[in-house]
Amino acid sequence: MKFQRFELRHVKLELTRPFETSFGRFTDRHLVIIKVFSDIGTCFSEAPSLHVPFYNYETTQSTLHVLKDFIIPALLKQKQEINDIEDLHHSMDFVRGHNIAKSSIDTAFYHLMSKSQDMPLAEYLGGNRKEVEVGISLGIEDNIELLLEQTKLALNKGYKRIKIKIKPGWDIEPIRQIRKQFGDIPIMADANSAYTLDSVDLFQKLDAFNLMMIEQPLGYDDIYEHSLLQSQIKTPICLDESIETVADANLAVKIKACKVINIKLSRVGGIYPAIKIHDICEEHNIPVWSGGMVESAIGKADCTALSTLPNFKLPGDISPSDRFFNKDIVSSGLVLERGCVLVPTKTGLGVDIDEKRLEDLTVGSPVVLEKYDPLLERW
């Protein structure tokens, strides 16, 4: 397979309602969407970095920069064919980090290969589920009544677990109220690194609410202190931000820093490293689930396909387009039924991009890169 042309777009999607986490409140979602042309066909892929470096260091602009000035010129320069995903990653290894940028190239490769072999992406990955269980991630609200209202709507739609975002001052009380009103439903809390070890008492109090897990309570780059916290609380800790590589997952599992891992394929650099982390966790009896980054239907379809692998044992943050957006960039997207997202059965990614809508939602002009141009190589 040879890459021939890339069209990079900065796309802005309006959220149906603001989404707030401990690191910020957002009303729009900025995404990098790429159309990839190759000798075996074309496809679309997504790099779901945020527009601000508040979740990890990547941003919409850093993603465009790293793709345009480093990763894509290297791919266009390459004379040999790339026929294996490991080779593709070797071609990108010279760039350190920037996993979300890399994930858009990794997923494009999988979309092209699965389509050219007439297989749905999930089947190409070796998954054999027809549907995957999903939960919803509910943002911080202005008051608890609004959160209870959102919880009720989500349960009525069938979501199999409720995750609420917490931060100091918005933790015990919202959880207590949800338990009181909705009883024994699966609930978890995601702190996005809003606490330190000084809050051990608070986490011990949270043990009383029987949460499925607590996600990333401590530092975004910490693993060790999570192991100290895990040994003092009953609630399973789930790591998100601090697992960026296979080495991070290995360390976390070995030192018992968590009992669950949230795999975001974008955060770890794509489907290939995500599967490696999935396998390590499986060997160590650590269940995983697919996290989300408020992706378009492109990214959510990738997460769906990945979640058909056997160690995805807990509901993922996966949803149809209308969970976050008035207008997504697809003409047909994912479908939610009985708390499950149906695994697309079409070949390749399995959702259809509406190119007119993509054009309408593009900020500025697309950047087109084709053929190797030595002037592109600035390093």
Q: Are 357 and 364 in contact (CB under 8 A)?
A: no
Tell me how far, at minimum, the Cβ of 324 lies from ligand OSB, in Å.
7
Contact status: 55 vs ligand OSB (CB under 6 A): yes
Residue 278, strand partner residues: none
The residues, any chain, with a CB within 8 Å of residue 176's CB and separated by 6 or more, are 209
Identity of the residue, 38 or 307, whose beta carbon is nearer to ligand OSB in the bound complex: 307
Q: How far is the CB of 316 from ligand OSB (least distance, A)?
A: 8
Q: Does 190 bind Mg ion (CB under 5 A)?
A: yes
Show Cβ contacts of residue 220 under 8 Å, excluding neighbours closer than 6 positions.
55, 56, 192, 193, 241, 242
Instruction: Answer whether 281's CB lies under 8 Å from 246's CB.
Output: no
For the chain, how are helix, strand and coil distributed in percent, rounded to 5? 35, 25, 40
Residue 1 or 15: the one with the smaller Cβ distance to Mg ion is: 15
Catalytic residue list contains 167: no
Per-residue binder mask for Mg ion (CB under 5 A), 227-256, x = binder:
-------------x----------------
Residues near ligand OSB (CB under 6 A), total: 11
Check binding of 317 to Mg ion (CB under 5 A): no
Of the candidates 72, 108, 122, 293, which one interacts with ligand OSB according to CB under 6 A? 293
In the bound complex, what is the minimum distance in angstroms from residue 322's beta carbon to Mg ion?
A: 22
The binder of 292, among Mg ion, ligand OSB, none, by C-beta within 5 to 8 A per type, is: ligand OSB
Backbone angles phi, psi at 161, to 5 degrees: -155, 155
Cα 169-174-178 angle, rounded to 5 deg: 170
| Site pattern 171..210 for ligand OSB (x: CB under 6 A) | -------------------x-x------------------
234 catalytic per annotation: no
Determine which residue in the list 73, 174, 273, 291 makes contact with ligand OSB, applying CB under 6 A. Answer: 291
The minimum distance between CB 83 and ligand OSB, in angstroms, equals: 32
Shortest distance, position 297 Cβ to Mg ion, whole Å: 20
Write the DSSP string, 323-363. Answer: GTBSS-SEEE---EETTEEEPP-SSBT--EE-HHHHHHTEE
273 or 291: CB nearest Mg ion: 291
Q: Which range, of 90-98, 272-280, 290-298, 365-373, touches ligand OSB by CB under 6 A?
A: 290-298
- On the 0-12 / 13-18 / 19+ scale of CB atoms within 10 A, 36 is buried
> Cβ of 258: how many Cβ atoms within 10 Å?
28
- Structure tokens, 142: 């202005």
Q: Does 141 bind ligand OSB (CB under 6 A)?
A: no
Sequence-distant (6+) residues with CB within 8 A of 377 are 73, 77
* β-bridge mates for residue 12, sequence order: 30
The reply on whether position 171 binds Mg ion by CB under 5 A is: no
d(CA 129, CA 96): 34
46 binds ligand OSB (CB under 6 A): no
Annotated catalytic residue: which of 35, 115, 160, 165? Answer: 165
137 is a contact residue toward ligand OSB (CB under 6 A): yes
The CA distance from 222 to 201, in Å, is 19
Of 66 and 164, the one with the shorter C-beta distance to ligand OSB is 164
Q: Which residues bind ligand OSB (CB under 6 A)?
A: 55, 137, 190, 192, 240, 291-294, 317, 319
Residues belonging to the active site: 165, 264
Q: Which residues bind Mg ion (CB under 5 A)?
A: 190, 215, 240
